[in-house]
Structure 1
Amino acid sequence: MPPVPPKNSGPVREAHRFDEARLDDWMAGHVDGYTGALQVCQFKGGQSNPTYWLADREHQYVLRKKPPGKLLPSAHAVDREYRVMRALGDTDVPTAIMYALCEDDSVIGTPFFVMEYVEGRIFWNVQLPDLAADERPAIYEELTRVLAAIHNVDLAAVGLSDFGRPDAYVARQVKRWTKQYLASQTTDVEQMKTLIDWMPANIPDDEATTLVHGDYRLDNLIFHPTEPRALAVIDWELSTLGHPLSDLAYTCMLYEVTLPKLGGLAGVDFQATGIPTEDAFVARYCELVGRDAVPDLNYYKAFSLFRLAAIAQGVYKRSLDGNASSPEASMFGAAVPHFADIACSLAGIG
């Protein structure tokens, strides 16, 4: 009996259709064990890179591709996603099996890669409402363990020493996301202007460099169906070599905000829920990576919120242009000033 599409997938949206017969031919020549009779559905998420569920007569796969249309420079780097996940296959970082990368636009219109479909649980809400209080600590312990594993990767051993520049990461990120924001700007947001002026002048003097995921959060981990164990980290599009505190701060910013669908941890009763406080989460991370302290965490959290605002602006702009990967993308415009306002508060400005 052929595989059945997962519940969080559906028909391919009109803007993201492609020649499925061409993909079927390509799969037959590039994916070991492919048995034909291709099925294609599109996952409901994937705001940035359209993501599809595929199946042949026996196996399930995931395909991620660049979106169609005019794209911002350096964005939607599916080739980098493929490279980093393939490199991490034998490390302590849980990753899906990578099958093949295609950079030939003539196959389905834009570059793409095919990887293993990992069945498991994704926790979309950081408050873990579907779990009991005594189950939640183990999920957060695993979230912390995997983050530390990413930052502890031996870059030379896995062939990722050249995956990014080893210096001035934060300065380059501030410049990059300022540029990305301005390239997709649709209206003036005063708080974003304030942050654009403040961030370059206040970069912490700390040059630590590790592999960074770039979008590390609970819903980018696929957990075992019954155990508090991560089977795969997904959505590596923004990964590079950089400052590990940028990943930590990005995870911790949910202690400050509430996001659509993901929820947030502001105002949570940590003792009653079993979810660790921010101080406890950070302390456990420091223990796992051998750090004594986390200076300037608020700067990194403010930058994380600025970057999130810039990403939201890009999604919103693509919705206006008709290229966004999700029908809910038009809601993202209102998030920009909200995130920027919290970032200004963390920075003590504006």
Structure 2
Amino acid sequence: MTTGVGPAVDDWLAAHVPGIAPPLTFDLVSGGRSNLTYRVTDATGTVRALRRPPTGGVLSTAHDMSREWRFVTALAPTEVPVPEPLAYCVDTSVTGAEFYVMDFVDGTVGADRDAVAHWPLDARRRAGTSLVEVLAALHRLDPTEVGLGDMARPRGYVERQLHRWQRQVHRSGAPDLELLDTVHDALLARVPPQSSGIVHGDFRPGNLSFAPDGTVVAVFDWELATLGDPLADLGWLVSTWEQPGDTVPPTTAGPTTAPGFCTRTELVDAYAKASGLDVSRLPYYVAFSRWRSACIGAGVASRFAAGVMGENDLPVEELHRQVLRQSEAAHEAVRDLDRP
């Protein structure tokens, strides 16, 4: 089904979500290249959220809903703010894929500058300190103690990630992968010593919900979560943290060029203080993040070009140009690792 939901979902939710009152209405909140999120409103006006995979053009190893559910349910009792998990459906006949339901968290998702335009400067400053506090809290958790110790091998995170994204970009049919292959080989040859913890995989303002004062009230989109080096999350966050005057594009656009947001240096210093971790290996993870972003972008552009992901706001040629810019940025970041 192109909408991702259907009449059978009403019956399933009525049977499995306590207190829900049909009839239900579904409104797509976000989705497309990632998992789809629907706002589910029942007859009393109570709102919940439903997460399911995209309806087409997905890779076989992507969009594991049970993985998201494991992380959300494990983290719900901790100090890391996540929506309350309500129910999980393993019956793919209900709507064509597994899905889960959680509480709907009101707040502002920091997707871009427009999203935070109404915030005062103090709220933007608070957003930076709050997300660092949440990220450090996540990285302080012991995966085994919260029931996630079996989610991945505790060692070799970087090697696994390099293999995964290299394999996926080649399977996507993306053209002109020579530069990405060069960066892959350079990263593989320079893997630093690694620690282990819970890694969100896409931690940035666009996957966080904020209260009016800038405090983080929920972390969303756990589809890339795994166990690995916490600095991978910080490297990704830094690579997305655009600031005025940048000449290198961010891996993912966000709100952080708006006045009031902290600088990347302030962000890293705050994380180092909050987490107590040594951040000297961070440049490697920034380079890795740029390479991973280019791999993801190349796969997306290839699937749009093949016509399996519907329409896109940008021409495929522009998507390919963005991938090239990010690939070049990754290459430069890797070369910087060897400079004194």
Shift of 1:263: 5.6
- Shift of residue 261 of structure 1? 5.0
Q: Is the 8 A contact 1:258 1:264 kept in 2?
A: no
Aligned length: 326
Q: Shift of residue 264 of structure 1?
A: 5.8
Q: Can you give the 5+ residue segments of structure 2 that lack an aligned partner in the other structure?
A: 243-247
Deviations 1:128-175 (A, max 9, x none): 544333332211000111110110113222111112110010111011
The one-letter code matched in structure 1 to 2:225 is S
SS at match of 1:211: strand
Q: 1:153 aligns with which of 135, 141, 145?
A: 141
Query: Where does residue 289 of structure 1 map in the other structure?
Result: 275
SS in 2 for 1:163: coil
Deviation at 1:259, TM superposition (A): 6.0
Structure-1 separation of matches of 2:255 and 2:218: 22
- Select which of 120, 134, 141 maps to 2:129: 141
- Consecutive unaligned residues of structure 1, counting only runs of 5 or more, are 1-14
CA distance in 2, matches of 1:19, 1:343: 39
What SS class does the counterpart of residue 208 from structure 1 fall into? coil
Deviations 1:256-287 (A, max 9, x none): 5246752665xx8xxxx333222221111111
* AA at the equivalent of 1:319: F
Q: Partners of 1:259 and 1:196 in 2: how far apart?
A: 17
Q: Secondary structure at the match of 2:40?
A: strand
What are the Cα deviations for residues 215-255 of structure 1, in whole angstroms up to 9, with x where unaligned?
0001111112x222211100000001010010000000134
Does residue 308 in structure 1 map to residue 293 in structure 2?
Answer: yes
| Partner SS for 2:109 | coil
Q: 1:343 aligns with which of 315, 330, 339?
A: 330
Following superposition, the deviation at residue 192 of structure 1 comes to 1.2
The residue that corresponds to 2:187 in the other structure is 199
Question: Compared with structure 1, are the counterparts of its residues 30 and 337 closer, same or farther at alpha carbon in structure 2 (3 Å cutoff)?
Answer: same
Q: Does 1:67 align with 2:54?
A: yes
1:173-322 correspondence to structure 2 within 5 Å: 173-204=161-192, 206-224=193-211, 226-254=212-240, 255=242, 256-258=248-250, 262=254, 273-291=259-277, 293-322=278-307
Cα displacement string for residues 33-54 of structure 1 (whole angstroms, at most 9, x for unaligned residues): 1111011121244522122221
Quote the residue 2:245 is aligned against: none
Instruction: Work out the CA distance in 2 between the residues paired with 1:46 and 1:301.
Output: 26
Task: Tell me: CA distance 1:297–1:30, structure 2 relative to 1, closer, same or farther (3 Å).
Answer: same
- SS at 1:16's partner residue? coil
Per the alignment, residue 120 of structure 2 pairs with 132
130-139 vs 22-31, greater mean Cα deviation: 130-139
- Superposition deviation, residue 180 in structure 1: 1.0
- For residue 94 of structure 1, what is the aligned residue in structure 2? 81
Change (3 A) 1:326 1:295: farther
1:106 is aligned to 93
1:35 corresponds to which residue?
Answer: 21
Task: Decide whether the 8 Å contact of 2:35 with 2:53 is kept in 1.
Answer: yes
**RMSD after superposition:** 2.3
- Deviates most, 67-76 or 145-154: 67-76
TM-score for both structures, normalised by structure 1: 0.86
In 2: Cα distance, 1:310 partner to 1:295 partner: 25
Name the CA distance, whole Å, in 2 between partners of 1:195 and 1:118.
39
Residues of 2 paired with 1:60 and 1:345: CA distance? 46
In 2 relative to 1, CA 106–77 (structure 1 residues): closer, same or farther, beyond 3 Å? same
| Compared CA separation, residues 110 and 317, structure 1 to 2 (3 A) | farther
Q: Which residue pairs with 1:324 in the alignment?
A: 309
Q: Contact between 1:316 and 1:332, CA under 8 Å: does it hold in 2?
A: yes
Q: Verify the 8 A CA contact 1:257 1:264 in the aligned structure 2.
A: no
Deviation at 1:306, TM superposition (A): 1.1
Distance 1:163 1:79 in 2: 11
**For the residues of structure 1 that align with 2:272 and 2:57, how far apart are their CA atoms?**
41
For 1:70 and 1:122, how far apart are their aligned partners in 2? 26
For each residue in 1:302-322, what CA deviation from the matched residue of structure 2 results, as whole angstroms up to 9, or x when unmatched?
110111112222322333444
Aligned-residue offset at 1:103: 2.0
Percent identical: 34
1:48 and 1:325 in contact (8 A); partners too = no
- 1:157-212 alpha-carbon deviations (Å, 9 max, x no partner): 211111211001011101111111111132114421221221111111x2200001
SS at match of 1:40: strand
Q: What's the offset of the Cα at 1:120? A: 0.9
Cα 1:276–1:343 shift into 2, 3 Å: same
Structure 2 CA distance, aligned partners of 1:170 and 1:259? 18
